[in-house]
Chains A and B, each alone.
Chain A
Amino acid sequence: GAGVSQSPSNKVTEKGKDVELRCDPISGHTALYWYRQSLGQGLEFLIYFQGNSAPDKSGLPSDRFSAERTGGSVSTLTIQRTQQEDSAVYLCASSLVGQGESYGYTFGSGTRLTVV
């Protein structure tokens, strides 16, 4: 597609429920990233996928968080047993390998998650 697509754009869930957030990166971009942005804060790295390599999960805050990327394209971020502190905007980005810096990441518009 023309840009990075994320769905849903907004999600309200009850504490303790599981949620799935979807990211569809730009076609041909082999690198995919998930970040989290809390109100008025910077972007917190969560996980990074590059091609068929094992993902870099070093930013996942707890074992309630997991992500997968199928076929080197679409990615799903799953949060189990959601807590109120999980409320944030979850941003997905993609980039070309080796050009993530000079050409930058392309971000989606994010999923705003609210846990009540």
Chain B
Amino acid sequence: GQSLEQPSEVTAVEGAIVQINCTYQTSGFYGLSWYQQHDGGAPTFLSYNALDGLEETGRFSSFLSRSDSYGYLLLQELQMKDSASYFCAVRDGYSTLTFGKGTMLLVSP
């Protein structure tokens, strides 16, 4: 089977930097993805890492270490609108994703 572990909740203040970690155990591995979901909304795709290293997209960056079965999402210059749930997901088979239980990020003024 497969499992993903991520913190249930993270808090930070506006303008700060926050890191959301994700560790995974899967029988196969084809990449780590991150999704954002605002309360009551649809999950939206943020990033994808297939290879080790850091991928940067604006204020968001995602990191992967396959040897450590570990990745993280880094959010810089936090804004109130970043308050949401963040899910890591792995593809360990043909095409479907297995998601973690999500990390709720609370950004305060």
Determine if A104 and B87 form an interchain contact, defined as CB atoms under 8 angstroms apart.
no
Q: Which residues of A contact B97 (CB under 8 A)?
A: 33, 43, 45, 100, 105
CB proximity to B under 8 Å, residues A77-109: 91, 93, 100-109
On whether the beta carbons of B91 and A45 are closer than 8 Å, the reply is: no
Does B102 sit within 8 A of A, measured CB to CB? yes
Inside 8 A of B91's CB, which chain A residues have their CB?
100-101
The number of chain B residues with a CB under 8 A from chain A is 25
Beta-carbon contact of B44 and A101 below 8 Å? no
Q: Let me know if B96 is at the binding interface, CB within 8 A.
A: yes
Q: Which chain B residues (43-91) contact chain A, with CB distance < 8 Å?
A: 43-46, 48, 50, 87, 89, 91
Contact of A104 among B30, B33, B41, B99 (CB under 8 A): B33
| A50 near B95: Cβ-Cβ < 8 Å | yes
Quick check: B43 and A42 within 8 Å, CB to CB? no
Name the one of A31, A101, A104 contacting B35, with C-beta atoms under 8 angstroms.
A104
CA distance A100 to B46 in the complex (A): 13
Known: A104-B45, A105-B45, A109-B42. 4 other contacts (CB 8 A): A45-B98, A56-B94, A59-B96, A93-B43
